Amino acid sequence: MLSDFNIRATFVLFITTIIVLAAHKLGLMDTSFDINDGSPTTFVTSFAEGVANNQTFDEGTKITRNDALFSARCSIREISADASRCGVSVAIGYNSSLKKHELANGFDLSKYDHVEIDATLDSPNQNNRVRLSLRNYNENYSTPNDFASLKLNSLNYLPNKEFPSKRIEFNSFRVEDSWIKEGNISFEDSKVDFSNIAFIEFVTDDVNEVGDYWLQINKISFHGQLFNELALLQIIILFWLIAIIFLVARQSKKLQVISNTDALTGLLNRRGITDWSYKKGTNLQNRRKGFLFYFDIDGFKKVNDTHGHSVGDELLCELGNIVKGILAGNPNMQNNIGLSRLAGDEFVLIISRINKDEANHFAALILEKLSSPIVISKRLIKVGLSMGISSFDPSFDEFEDILSRADSAMYCAKRDGKNRFRVFDDHVRDAIYRRKQIALNIRLAAENNEFSMVYMPIFRAVDLYIHKVEVLLRCHSPALNGIGPDEFIPITEEFGVIQNIDLMVIETTFKHMHKNKQVFENSNIKVCINISAKELNNVSFTSSLETLLADYRINPAQIEFEITETSLVEIDEQSIKILNQIRDMGMSLALDDFGTGYTAFSHIVNYPIDCLKIDKSFIDDLTEKNEVKKTLVKSILAIASSFNLETVAEGIEKDEQFRILKELGCGSIQGYLLSKPISWIHFKALLEDQDGRGSIIKIAN
């Protein structure tokens, strides 16, 4: 997109071009040279030629303005066989150091294209012509004391008393053949030339009658244009070309700045910080290492949800200003600092030529500065940062490699409790390597069919009737021995394996339901399947579901998908669209681990949720004496009831917990008190053993 300056400059250039062309057309760019307007004419001679003693002439003189410039009166008494002429010669460009009749350098008339003269000739024959000659001096073929050696650029014309003014174009002149022959002039020098005119001559031509001749010159002026039309167009084109090159270069530079700058904060963007790090690496003479700080805002989604995206944007800008303010305290380091907003709430700070202690000091300063609430739009907002730090050699390390190491360190900082920083070291490297190995082993386990399903019954609290079952994933790969779902599921999400795992679990469950169709139809049980938050941004997820439902002829009403409450932290319009598509297909949705995330109660109504599963952390200390826990659970159940949501309490391990939940009105319970995750065979047996009232387990009073 063109900048305002470029648009204005182009408009000004266009208008200027129109004005220049119009001025040229109107003659405002014309130029002229009038012999009578202070011209350096030196002397004038009038002469007549014929037989000696039979001719007379009067010398013409230069007279005042409004009178004739030059005149010559000649009485021809006899026609000479040699020559009979009457005329006026005007010398221009006189050099005072020369004698009166010596030749001198003249005027350059090549910039003119025509001459205008006002001249009359009285003669016995009114058809007598006048030869106008512009004599050119050139040291290659002219000699100072030889008038005849001047190049003779001439033409003949007929003066008219009624219309004395005459316009004569320069392209009408020709070089006299006599001059070429007499002077033995070369072809190159014989061309018409107006570059150094020393004399202007008016001479009667072909005098063939005796009598009185009176030649009077009233005006001689040369006219032309500062630029002819072609030259002017060439100048305009050249000027436009220079202007375009300048504007394109300026625009290119501006676009480069824009392409390297984050539009919101004015900091460098990802491309900008990459270029900066490359230039800094190639220009550094000192091999001293630098450090990259990679950080983001803890709970930034909560700020957006609570205060709005405009406040979130202001927070990002203020964070950039705070970091710049901290760095401004070190003016000697300004050329070694690059600050960037990569995306969202992710920032990168690069400081070259510092040591580890200085890097730790800067990280601590940033975290300390942000430990106090920030005023944004008259609101006090408390935030924290998780930061990863990686050292690098700016002459050798690639930016993406440095960033990857800092990202790994930031992940460890978040895992350790957030609002802190970690420096990438061997411990971080080992932790990342372990996670990568787990991700690789998960892929291999999926390929080798080393996963199986177990079933966790969900009971109605009122009569302990099994009306739902949660399908849980178990891995039997020796390489993953001792690594449970709580650890390997987040890793599959981090390394992009989770989508394959989700579809594998869903398809395996559907296949099993199809195989045991009679059992599921008779029990009318609902199967609960956990899906990753990644599926909420997977646009092909719902189409895959439709295909699997059709392939295995599954009743959608018997399927419930569980998503964790933390999945809603990063939810957007696309995620809500996918959730609605799932419900539109006839399946239900449950919010797992409710109470552990940042979801505001008021937001639940905006999400297409059918069931809340109260997290085990609310159940563990639930006793008659613990009024705080009872109040919290009671509040959750009341909120769920107001939104017409089912409720399931997870982690029931004690009789007292069960009784309190039942009294508070919790709809369903799940936990080791009633059943651990069991195989399909054992779960099938439980279903078959349910009596007519649906109760298979007795809880002691």
Sign of CA dihedral 419, 423, 424, 426: negative
**Shared-domain flag, residues 167 and 50:** yes
Q: What is the CATH number of the domain that holds 651?
A: 3.20.20.450
Q: What is the CATH number of the domain that holds 374?
A: 3.30.70.270
pLDDT for 59 equals 40
Domain boundary among 424, 442, 459: 424
CB 500 within 8 A of CB 439: no
Question: How many CA atoms, within 13 angstroms, populate the side-chain half-sphere of residue 197?
Answer: 28
In a domain, 432, yes or no: no
Measured between alpha carbons, how far is residue 507 from residues 50, 400, 484, 553, 641 in Å? 127, 37, 21, 12, 33
Domain boundary among 205, 225, 245: 225
CB 577 within 8 A of CB 539: no
In a domain, 264, yes or no: no
CB 189 within 8 A of CB 137: no
Helices 426-447 & 485-494 angle (0-180, nearest 10): 90
- The per-residue DSSP string of 118-131 comes to EEEEE-SSTT-EEE
**Shared-domain flag, residues 381 and 525:** no
**Shared-domain flag, residues 281 and 419:** yes
User: How far out from the chain centre does Cα 383 lie?
Assistant: 31
**Shared-domain flag, residues 558 and 683:** yes
In a domain, 615, yes or no: yes
pLDDT for 699 equals 46
What share of the chain in percent tops pLDDT 70? 86
In a domain, 445, yes or no: no
**Shared-domain flag, residues 219 and 312:** no
Is 575 in a helix, a strand, or coil? helix
User: Mind listing the pLDDT tens digit for each residue in 149-174?
Assistant: 888 899 988 888 778 889 999 999 99
**Shared-domain flag, residues 574 and 676:** yes
Residues of the chain with pLDDT under 70: 1-3, 37-67, 81-83, 93-104, 206, 280-288, 331-335, 394-396, 565-571, 596-603, 605, 691-701
In the chain, the number of structural domains is: 4
Tokens of 446: 């999926």
In a domain, 41, yes or no: yes
Tokens of 254: 């501006």
Residue 180: which domain range? Answer: 32-225
In a domain, 433, yes or no: no
Instruction: With CA atoms as reference, report the closest residue to 273 among 297, 252, 294.
Output: 294
Query: Where are the strands (E) in 123-181, listed by range?
Result: 129-136, 151-157, 165-169, 174-175
Strands 526-530 and 559-564 turn out to be parallel
The position carrying tokens 């002219």 is 142
Tokens of 260: 């390297």
The number of helices, as runs of H, and strands, as runs of E, in the chain is 18, 27
Distance (Å, whole) CA 94 – CA 244: 47
Using a 10 angstrom Cβ sphere, with 0-12 exposed, 13-18 middle and 19 or more buried, the burial of residue 53 is exposed
Query: Where are the strands (E) in 245-303, listed by range?
Result: 290-298
CB 588 within 8 A of CB 527: no
pLDDT for 547 equals 94
The answer for residues whose C-beta is within 8 angstroms of residue 123's C-beta and 6 or more apart is: 204, 207, 209, 211, 212, 213, 214
Distance (Å, whole) CA 350 – CA 445: 40
**Shared-domain flag, residues 132 and 74:** yes
CB 512 within 8 A of CB 680: yes
**Shared-domain flag, residues 464 and 606:** yes
Is 381 in a helix, a strand, or coil? strand
In a domain, 669, yes or no: yes
**Shared-domain flag, residues 330 and 342:** yes
Tokens of 458: 């969900």
Q: What is the CATH number of the domain that holds 175?
A: 2.60.120.430
In a domain, 389, yes or no: yes
- The region, left, alpha or beta by phi > 0 then psi within -120 to 50, assigned to residue 337 is beta
Distance (Å, whole) CA 589 – CA 535: 13
**Shared-domain flag, residues 9 and 70:** no
**Shared-domain flag, residues 23 and 38:** no
**Shared-domain flag, residues 472 and 372:** no
- Whether the pTM exceeds 0.75: the reply is no
